[in-house]
Structure 1
Amino acid sequence: MQSARQNQPGTTKQETTEQDIVTADIGGTNARFAIARIGNGKVLSLGEPHTLPVADYDSLADAWHHFEKIAGCPLPNHAAMALACPVQGDVLTMANNPWTVIPADLPRELNISPPLLLNDFEAVAHAVAAVDHSHLPLLCGPDRPLPEEGTIVAIGPGTGLGTASIIRRDGRTLVSGSEAGHMGFSPFDDFEDRLLDRLRSVHGRVSAERIISGPGFIPLCTQLAEDTGDSWRDLNDKQLWTLALEGHDKLTRDGMARFCLALGSFAGDIALAHCATGVVVAGGLGKRLMEVLPASGFAKRFIAKGRFEDMMRRIPVRMIRYPEPGLFGAASALALHLAARTPEAP
């Protein structure tokens, strides 16, 4: 693996605009790293990703240096990092993992130039904006490509619930991250009212992420068990999701159906709030549910917006089928950032 700290003398303009970078996707459970090749504002290639469990490392710097050992050589000087937290202020506190990131310290700790930091779902949105249409299979709505004008929202359940917007105007694209997953949960029916009451007794305020996320499957299945009188097994969310996706266990299968309904409601609410012209479902669970969502009640809940149902029916909703959208998207964001700083050739 070659480092791209310096360009060789005598290279052409085309050659000097291509370089290697480190791209990282730091989530609540895993930290992913890869080397990407970028040039002229695009990702030219994405190297083999390496996934490191967050729980095995005390800090981002520890995980970074472990990746450097895996690479076997000094890492490139430029880096893009997608972080599962708001990227604001002098100290960044990760939403679902114990790491704290101080941006000003990263160049010294990692021995690189100041990295490009962005919200993890902002990175996913960059991937949505950059990947080929073939990586965006239809979930529901009209079968047409994502529009070239308007606002596209990306939504993704995983360890948390990510959201971001892609704004396309007059041939230009702007990507903006958000923390809409922490908006208050809005129940749709009696079951969700009971679920909300259960969680309110524990947390007080209940965000959408408390339910529409991997860990949110536990209280959802617990409420179903209470309603039906089924025996409850003390399993973690990963074990429950495995049972649900295998399809042999009725309680978790019903819980997965309920999860898809709640995700559809939330996706529709966010689309309505942005007057979106397109929606993309991503995230770790979005990927695992790719075969489940199209046949679920997602679409029915997505359009169930009263007087705005006709408008909601006209929104194409797609999924992203790309191996590592966070890594690709962070690299794409840095490619655009560096291209914008490159002076035009005389």
Structure 2
Amino acid sequence: MSNIKKGPNRSSQVLAKTLVLAGDMGGTKTDLALFSFKGGSFSVLKKAQFKNKDFSSPAAVIEVFLARCGSVDIAAATIGVAARIDNGRASFTNLDWVVDARELAAHLGTGEVSLVNDLVATSWGLPMLDEDMFCCLQDGSRGDGNAVMVAAGTGLGEVILNGRDGNFYPSASEGGHSDFAPNGLVQQGLLAYLYAKFGHVSVERVVSGPGLKTIYDFLMNGRRPNPTLVDRFRMEDPSAVISKEAAKEDGFKVCKEALDIFISALGAEAANLALKTLPAGGVYIAGGIPWQIIKALKEEETFINAFRNKGRFGDYLSSLPVYVVLEPKTALYGAANHAYSRLTARPLSF
């Protein structure tokens, strides 16, 4: 990995000090930050997180944030959004918001505004991170070519980083909505359970925060509920409760079983994407869940066994470097890097 602070900056003399606005806009919350780039390094001048339900539109959120920043001259802005983008416009599936890059630029006067997929933003964040923000799950020699990223959180995101001449060109996807392919009898039963509920069963139904809770519900089907966990599910994020219980020596056994299925399905899906792209540049596991279950990913073999379990291509998959991204704000940093790159014509490289 390289870090942007050490990288070349062809336009550093022209842009002696540049302010960019970065955003990571999800279904429930929005992170915004003001970054200063100078001489090939960056600093965060101000950042804040907002609950989307408190605002009528994306512009309203950004207006409040900029008011806190005072008088600033923003050269460019990039907003990463957890939605599909069409011609600079995105609609959220679980939020009555429409984000339009041109309208934001005209309304807020923030210079050039770009909308990118949240996984594309996360990709741009990789060179912003120090070495200790990556945990290696499988050693391998990074070569020239593609890289891939799978991110498990509220949903399941996937991005292909097309490699060319030492640079990467991220391509957004909706791969998380492709079919879930079960491995083994238990996962076949899970597929049948999900099919009865949803009809089409995407891999996101399993490999996501809601998916982890669904796995737990499947395993508990026909069993007496655990009253303590039922109460905690009402008060806390169920996926976090399950993960924490699974990590305990004396935790509820079904939580450990649910997390094992989740991790196995995550490993299998990362391998599926790797087989379709041949990522000599590495496989990256990101999102809100993996860094919180890093002990299980690192110390147990469930993920790696599922990743390598692809028959005749098991040896090939065993040769690929696999990393977990530990920085939860990578998408926000990446949005800033993307905005600055639009001004400096600097491609993505790490």
TM-score by length of 1: 0.86
Query: What SS does the aligned partner of 1:22 have?
Result: strand
**Offset of residue 48 of structure 1:** 4.3
| 1:265 equivalent among 261, 268, 288 | 268
Matched, 1:222 2:227: no
Within 5 Å, give how 1:1-346 maps onto structure 2.
14=13, 16-39=15-38, 44-74=42-72, 76-89=74-87, 91-139=89-137, 141-142=138-139, 144=141, 147-226=142-221, 229-231=223-225, 233=230, 235=233, 238-246=237-245, 247=248, 248-277=251-280, 278-296=282-300, 297-340=302-345
Residues 129-157 of structure 1: per-residue CA shift (max 9 Å, x gap): 45344422202x2255xx25111111110
**Offset of residue 195 of structure 1:** 1.7
The answer to whether the 8 A contact 1:43-1:331 is kept is: no
Q: Kindly provide the amino acid, as one letter, of the partner of residue 101 in structure 2.
A: P
**Offset of residue 269 of structure 1:** 0.7
Q: Kindly provide the amino acid, as one letter, of the partner of residue 324 in structure 2.
A: M
Residues 192-249 of structure 1: per-residue CA shift (max 9 Å, x gap): 222222222222212111111111122110111127x342637357134224314322
Residue 75 to residue 239, structure 1, CA distance change in 2 (3 Å): farther
Partner of 2:3: none
**Offset of residue 340 of structure 1:** 1.6
Residues 287-325 of structure 1: per-residue CA shift (max 9 Å, x gap): 212222112301100010011000010011101122510
Residue 272 to residue 138, structure 1, CA distance change in 2 (3 Å): same
The answer to whether the 8 A contact 1:129-1:166 is kept is: no
Query: What SS does the aligned partner of 1:318 have?
Result: strand
> What is the alpha-carbon distance in structure 1 between the residues aligned to residue 12 and residue 314 of structure 2?
52
Q: Which runs of 5+ in 1 are unaligned?
A: 1-11, 342-346
> What is the alpha-carbon distance in structure 2 between the residues aligned to residue 306 and residue 230 of structure 1?
39
TM-score by length of 2: 0.85
Query: What SS does the aligned partner of 2:344 have?
Result: helix
The answer to whether the 8 A contact 1:82-1:330 is kept is: yes
Q: Kindly provide the amino acid, as one letter, of the partner of residue 245 in structure 1.
A: K
The answer to whether the 8 A contact 1:280-1:318 is kept is: yes
> What is the alpha-carbon distance in structure 2 between the residues aligned to residue 13 and residue 308 of structure 1?
45
The answer to whether the 8 A contact 1:43-1:335 is kept is: no
**Offset of residue 188 of structure 1:** 1.2
Number of aligned positions between the proteins: 325
**Offset of residue 32 of structure 1:** 0.3
Q: Kindly provide the amino acid, as one letter, of the partner of residue 27 in structure 2.
A: G
> What is the alpha-carbon distance in structure 2 between the residues aligned to residue 199 and residue 333 of structure 1?
38
> What is the alpha-carbon distance in structure 2 between the residues aligned to residue 143 and residue 172 of structure 1?
19
> What is the alpha-carbon distance in structure 2 between the residues aligned to residue 200 and residue 265 of structure 1?
20
**Offset of residue 59 of structure 1:** 1.6
**Offset of residue 165 of structure 1:** 2.1
**Offset of residue 43 of structure 1:** 5.5
> What is the alpha-carbon distance in structure 2 between the residues aligned to residue 53 and residue 302 of structure 1?
36
> What is the alpha-carbon distance in structure 1 between the residues aligned to residue 160 and residue 323 of structure 2?
14
**Offset of residue 17 of structure 1:** 4.2
> What is the alpha-carbon distance in structure 2 between the residues aligned to residue 226 and residue 54 of structure 1?
34
**Offset of residue 99 of structure 1:** 1.9
Residue 19 to residue 121, structure 1, CA distance change in 2 (3 Å): same
**Offset of residue 334 of structure 1:** 1.6
